[in-house]
Amino acid sequence: MFYILGTVIIAVIEFLLIYQARAMYSRWPFLYMGIAGIFLIALGSVPLWDASRLFNFIVGMMFFVNLVFFVIMANYMIRMRFWKDSTIKDVDYIVVLGTRIMSTRIPPNLKSRLDKTIETYRQLKCRPKIIVSGGFSSTNPKSEAEMMQNYLVKNGIEPEVIIVESRSLNTMQNLEYSSIRIRADWENNYFPQILIITSDYHVPRVNQYANDLNLRSNFVQAKTFKLFKYPAMFREFTAFAWYRRYTLLTTFLLMFVILVSTLVS
């Protein structure tokens, strides 16, 4: 009876942590991480004093799954918090990543990226080309890239330095299609210096994608209002997990097999 009651209590806490994850993390990410960490410590201490193999198996599997996601989330938060902008003196291309636009107006997150692009462009002594990247994310007849181009031109950027990439529908495609445009435009023998500008919460994932695509890129982050930042951070964590879903699934299955083998031995 004790084991059944304990399993129910653990399952209820786990359900609440998952069910309330988006709402709570989007408001108080560090509080949510603290509660998740305490629950993880509690799970880790259960097998030390309990004698039921089946109960230990359930707790052990839940502990391992929670530990993996906790480490991914903590790693993302640490990387984002301590990320430093690249020190750039000379740039050949500035790549500005788009974001979903649901109306005819530039959303705050994208405006922040574009304003950072304008500031960075004017600080550079060279005059790099600017690639605005983003496809059609709504019923708007204009693509994200076209709206970004219009914003830059209205704010004093010369139209001839802007390259429009309007095919991409996600972050990975932003990088892939932008690199294709760079290769088509670049006429020198050496590799161009590329600077990617995106939101602060977005940089760790973009950096991971860039490494996977073997792009030697530098980054400048655009600041995000907290009202929009924390919900976006949760989305970034889930995107990280989804991107590595096959690795995670393989790891979980391996752990399941190990725990089952200890249960039947």
Give me the CATH number covering residue 204.
3.40.50.620
Identify the segments of the chain with pLDDT beneath 70: 1-2, 47-51, 138-139, 265
Domain annotation covers residue 259: yes
What per-residue confidence (pLDDT) applies to 44?
A: 84
What per-residue confidence (pLDDT) applies to 1?
A: 62
Based on the fold, state whether residues 54 and 148 are members of the same structural domain: no
Domain annotation covers residue 207: yes
Provide the whole-model pTM: 0.83
Domain annotation covers residue 213: yes
Q: How many domains does the chain have?
A: 2
Whole-angstrom Cα distance, residue 239 to residue 230? 14
Domain annotation covers residue 121: yes
Q: What is the DSSP letter of 159?
A: G
Domain annotation covers residue 236: no
Q: Are 207 and 216 spatial neighbours (Cβ–Cβ below 8 Å)?
A: no
**Residues with Cβ within 8 Å of residue 210, at least 6 apart in sequence:** 175, 196, 217
pLDDT digits over 206-244, tens only?
988 888 888 878 899 999 888 888 888 888 888 888 888
H or E element, residue 223? none
Which structural domain, as residue segments, surrounds residue 151? Answer: 93-224
Based on the fold, state whether residues 51 and 169 are members of the same structural domain: no
Q: What is the largest CA-CA distance in the chain?
A: 74
Based on the fold, state whether residues 98 and 30 are members of the same structural domain: no
What per-residue confidence (pLDDT) applies to 48?
A: 64
Based on the fold, state whether residues 74 and 117 are members of the same structural domain: no
Domain annotation covers residue 233: no
Q: How many CB atoms lie within 10 A of CB 196?
A: 27
What per-residue confidence (pLDDT) applies to 50?
A: 62
pLDDT digits over 43-67, tens only?
888 766 666 777 888 888 889 999 9
Q: Are 222 and 198 spatial neighbours (Cβ–Cβ below 8 Å)?
A: yes
Based on the fold, state whether residues 116 and 180 are members of the same structural domain: yes
What per-residue confidence (pLDDT) applies to 198?
A: 93
What per-residue confidence (pLDDT) applies to 155?
A: 94
